Amino acid sequence: MNDSPGWATPGSPSDGQGSDDGRPPAPPAGDDKWSASQPPPGQWSSPSPGQSPPPSRQTPGWGSYERQPGQRPTAPYAGPYGHPGGWGGPPPAAKPGVIPLRPLGLGEILDGAVSTLRGHWRSVLSITLVVAVLFQLAILLVQRLTLDTVVLDPQTATPSQALDLMGDTLALYGFQYYAEFTALALVTALLAPVVSNAVLGRASTPAATLRTVRPLAPRMLGLTGLLLVGALAAGFLPALPGILSGNVLLTALSLPIGLVLLAWFYVTFSLAPPALMLERGSAIGAMKRSARLVKGSWWRVCGITVLTWLIRSITAAIIAMPFAAVAALATPGGLGALLDGSAARNWTFLIITAIGGIIGTTITLPMQTGVTTLLYVDQRIRREALDLELARAAGLDGPGGTITGG
């Protein structure tokens, strides 16, 4: 046996000195606390060198669960009929809401995000719809302004005209990306309380969600602004020397560097919105918190985020396709206007496609925000044993509560 606290070597309650023939020491004379009959010789002796210990009579499959090196300790579990362990391994984790309370896999994160949307659709869709309408209107106006360029004939277009059209196109796509980035950060923060309730198996209403968010609105807007400024700096600072010098080649070579910095910035601080809303700290503190949680798991967070973005983009494109077809048919010139680019300057085409974009964004954006919040929960479970706190908050281990900071 070991000498760890709480353990003692088995044997007779004596001073540990036995007789030469292997018998236990005789009880002291006149001591009536000891029985006169003692075990026969050898029953209390330790096994001789090389002798195997007696076989265990424990039934296979009923052994207690032993914690492996580096594994976080868990609460004791009583298996069937009160025996510890269970049928060949640790018990399944408790699942009061959309995820089990343990470190999550990719499928469980995606399923939890979809289950949140399905089970709390009133709160999720009402909040996302408002944000989607605002940002789609902004994109619509910028699209109408930037593409108000004369349709170019590739055979007669001058280099300056082609350069202007290229600049307008890059400006439009850049604005769309950063508008989506801002909307994603904002919706993630707004829906973090909804996902928190879904994890605990609690209901959410739009009114209750707004009451939760309202005190944190200034900090939420401040964090959104900081993330936007940081993303702009990461994307454009590498290209700034080429832009200021008018060197097109230098600008083009700096674009990959900007994309790498932008990806690093986005993944590193992607968990800041849920950290702000669920831990109720400052905007700067939420960004630092996100960087600490992502550290060491950057590629995992990046892979799950990119995969979710691909799924969301494909789903949104499928939703928007019927609206694009209707818009092409309703636009003067039909498919010909769509092919030569003139449809992009027609209000009918722009409005119908914007409606499709609003519907697609409203349905698919909550999936991305749900995955981000569940990644935050998963990282805290892996690093800080948040699952034990969540179990208590869900009423599985002590009085209920809320998700709080670590």
Q: Averaged over 19-43, what is the pLDDT?
A: 48
pLDDT at 56: 43
**Confidence check: pLDDT of 3 > 50:** no
**Confidence check: pLDDT of 332 > 50:** yes
Tell me the CA end-to-end span of the chain in Å, nearest whole number. 37
pLDDT at 128: 95
User: Which residues are bridge partners to 270 per DSSP?
Assistant: none
pLDDT tens string 351-394: 999 999 999 999 999 999 999 999 999 999 999 989 888 888 88
pLDDT at 327: 85
**Confidence check: pLDDT of 165 > 50:** yes
**Confidence check: pLDDT of 41 > 70:** no
pLDDT tens string 221-257: 999 999 999 999 998 898 888 878 878 788 888 889 9
3 state SS for the chain: CCCCCCCCCCCCCCCCCCCCCCCCCCCCCCCCCCCCCCCCCCCCCCCCCCCCCCCCCCCCCCCCCCCCCCCCCCCCCECHHHCECCCCCCCCCCCCCCCCCCCCCHHHHHHHHHHHHHHCHHHHHHHHHHHHHHHHHHHHHHHHHHCCCCCCCCCCCCHHHHHHHHHHHHHHHHHHHHHHHHHHHHHHHHHHHHHHHHHHCCCCCHHHHHHHHHHHHHHHHHHHHHHHHHHHHHHHHHHHHHHHHCCHHHHHHHHHHHHHHHHHHHHHCCCHHHHHHHHCCCHHHHHHHHHHHHCCCHHHHHHHHHHHHHHHHHHHHHHHHHHHHHHHHHCCCHHHHHHHCHHHHCHHHHHHHHHHHHHHHHHHHHHHHHHHHHHHHHHHHHHHCHHHHHHHHCCCCCCCCCCCCC
Degrees, nearest 5: CA angle 246-252-258? 110
Is residue 16 very low, low, confident or very high in pLDDT (cuts 50, 70, 90)? Answer: very low
Please give the model's pTM, rounded to 2 decimal places: 0.72
**Confidence check: pLDDT of 33 > 60:** no
CB 266 within 8 A of CB 181: yes
Q: What is the mean pLDDT of the chain?
A: 77
pLDDT at 398: 42
CB 63 within 8 A of CB 85: yes
pLDDT at 184: 94
**Confidence check: pLDDT of 27 > 70:** no
pLDDT at 136: 92
pLDDT at 34: 43
Nearest Cα neighbor of 328 from 305, 353, 311, 356 is 353
pLDDT at 67: 38
pLDDT at 30: 47
Degrees, nearest 5: CA angle 54-59-65? 95
More confidently predicted of 266 and 42: 266
What is the rounded CA–CA span in Å between residue 14 and residue 34? 11
pLDDT at 159: 65
pLDDT at 350: 85
Q: Averaged over 156-172, what is the pLDDT?
A: 70
pLDDT tens string 61-120: 333 333 344 444 444 444 444 444 445 555 678 899 999 999 999 999 999 999 999 999
pLDDT tens string 309-322: 999 999 999 999 99
More confidently predicted of 182 and 170: 182
Q: Averaged over 284-291, what is the pLDDT?
A: 96
pLDDT at 368: 94
Is residue 17 very low, low, confident or very high in pLDDT (cuts 50, 70, 90)? Answer: very low
Q: Which two tokens stand for residue 99?
A: 């995820």
**Confidence check: pLDDT of 11 > 50:** no
* Type of residue found at 363: I
CB 172 within 8 A of CB 147: yes
